[in-house]
A and B are shown apart, each in its own frame.
Chain A
């Protein structure tokens, strides 16, 4: 077909409207099925990765058993720093869990085309991140075997949870979020599972897929209700995703601890959550597209568009950081002011500066299109963002508690190997689920990709030539910018 060689001086090309990103290299529905389902065959590397993940998980489990038997004292808690690595990691994972629903739901409502090929991956990430996060509130309890007392169920004691406690809101926010995002993921998967089912030869797997696909047949009636239901789910998930992290932020904002007691927390947390989520999306999808050879599905333009979103959230987060300091100064509250001084220049200056550097300063590089389209840099940056967001939560939890109203109780905090290995275990748990997922289900939504590629028509074949807006010409490995 016609490959138009583009003159070099056209670089850098103008920005692509993110609503209208096409997949020139994908031509037929057939090709979509072939290429995507091909990624499901397990490889050696995959088994090795899974092995590592499970090892980490086992380390975490072993440590937890030790902690349950001995008591929380084996962790590095140092009263009045009553919350530590566990709560930090809980908020960290919940934050990660926000990008998925954002991309799949909010961007769906906004009709942002670049979501199509990355949302399945992000959504899976969300579900597993929330599954991971959900463990930590239980894990940090003094008596974890009593966690179900937080759930309102009728029993002979006649006593119920306290619905005025942010922790109970948490329970419901997280359970709701987990249920809804899982449903969302599954509903979106059903047509693709049907595709797998029809292609599968192994009888056992075929049976499983048939059950999971609920007998989906791509009939017009199914599609009609499906699209409608999907829309409503998206419409529900959008406020939900905003509420969940607001509720998580209430855990802090509702307390009168200096550094916590701030009305800015909900928006601040939501922005931070989406920011960290996008970071994790990059961390996952950049190696994945290379590994699975899906670079013509998740094109550099998709990453470019996502990077813009990332930059935006980073700016919001940075603004929130600055606002906190301003409020502390403007409130005239001496306790608050002392705390914020201590945060940046005191005991915990290093944590604060890691946070500011990774979340506020480094992402500014995304203003450069060249860096936005450089996957290596995006990947490195995403690692920094993950680190920075973990430390943001560290800075929120630890310095506040260690420097409160009572000077006599000012103290310090040092995690022990127990905290660290449980943190490691959480990464193992997350990666295990994710690795299992990507080899059982398509990481790119087959049916939705088919939506955006031109259908075969009797009259003519759809054109994929370059257009004035600088949209893609035919895909060929040499085309600059289409892959790296």
Chain B
């Protein structure tokens, strides 16, 4: 007699439904989280930020006065690296600095590969966040220890919103989307 077999059908159906819901729950949530592309110059934040105690704003100078954090211009890099050359005092090589100086010699900007990117229909004013005391690490992760830099947070809308609601700040659509 097969009466037992047939009851196995219903749990199966339920399992299917559950799977479908879970699938939809993460749908659209797929972002390049954890993406760590190979940069033209393997720039180590650690010696600069931790070692030399440089402020983020030294290089990303407009992060506190513009929606756009800004990238250090070649001149900014060469400000130090004309002196701090491709060879350490102990003679060991600094290959990346050599690369940098080559770019500088050719008078070419460094074609950095972009990691953190919100869609074009999202307006993200950096200065509002920086001035409100949001640390760079909250969104970008512990950049000072990253080598290479990767996207730590998923930068999803839900991720933005949860923080905005928690902080009791604007979470109205027209704050970011226009």
Contacts and interface: CB of A to CB of B under 8 A. Distances in A.
A146 to B, nearest CB: 10
Contacts, number: 31
Interface string A151-188: 00111111100000000000000000000000000000
Interface stretch (B19-27, B65-73, B132-140): B19-27
B25 A155 contact: yes
B29 interface: yes
A157 B25 contact: no
B121 to A, nearest CB: 13
A156 B160 CA distance: 10
A103 B156 CA distance: 50
Contacts of A158: 157-158, 161-162
A157 B157 contact: yes
Contacts of B28: 155-157
A201 to B, nearest CB: 25
A154 B24 CA distance: 7
A153 B22 CA distance: 10
Interface in B115-171: 154, 156-159, 161-162
A156 B25 CA distance: 7
Q: Is the interface of B mostly helix, strand, loop or mixed?
A: helix
A154 B157 contact: no
A158 B164 CA distance: 13
B21 A155 contact: no
Contacts of B154: 156
A155 B27 CA distance: 7
Interface in A113-164: 153-159
Contact of A154 (B21, B156, B161, B162): B21
Interface residues on A, range: under 10
A154 B25 contact: yes
B156 A156 contact: yes
Contacts of A156: 25-26, 28-29, 154, 156-159
Nearest to A151: B24
A157 B158 contact: yes
A153 B156 contact: no
B161 A153 contact: no
Contacts of A155: 24-29
Contacts of B25: 153-156
Contacts of B157: 156-159
A154 B21 CA distance: 8
Contacts of B21: 153-154
B24 A157 contact: no
Contacts of A153: 21, 24-25, 27
Most chain B CB inside 10 Å of its own CB: which residue of A156, A157, A159: A156
Contacts of B24: 153-155
Contacts of A159: 157
Contacts of B162: 158
A158 B24 CA distance: 13
A156 B156 CA distance: 7
Contacts of A157: 28, 156-158
Nearest to B159: A156
Contacts of B159: 156
B173 to A, nearest CB: 8
Interface string B11-40: 000000000010011111100000000000
A409 to B, nearest CB: 25
Contacts of B26: 155-156
Contacts of B161: 158
Nearest to B161: A158
A383 B25 CA distance: 47
A155 B159 CA distance: 12
A156 B159 CA distance: 8
A214 to B, nearest CB: 10
A156 B153 CA distance: 13
Nearest to B22: A154
Interface string B76-96: 000000000000000000000
A154 B25 CA distance: 5
A86 B44 CA distance: 58
Contacts of A154: 21, 24-25
Nearest to A153: B24
A293 B162 CA distance: 67
Contacts of B27: 153, 155
A84 B26 CA distance: 36
A213 to B, nearest CB: 14
A171 to B, nearest CB: 15
A153 B26 CA distance: 10
A159 B157 CA distance: 10
A210 to B, nearest CB: 13
Interface string A304-328: 0000000000000000000000000
Nearest to B25: A154
8 contacts: A155-B28, A156-B25, A156-B154, A156-B157, A156-B159, A157-B156, A158-B158, A158-B161
Given A155-B26, A156-B157, 12 more contacts: A154-B24, A154-B25, A155-B27, A155-B28, A156-B28, A156-B154, A156-B159, A157-B157, A157-B158, A158-B158, A158-B161, A158-B162
Interface of B: 21, 24-29, 154, 156-159, 161-162
What are the 4 A-B residue pairs with the smallest beta carbon separation, nearest first?
A156-B29, A156-B158, A153-B24, A154-B25
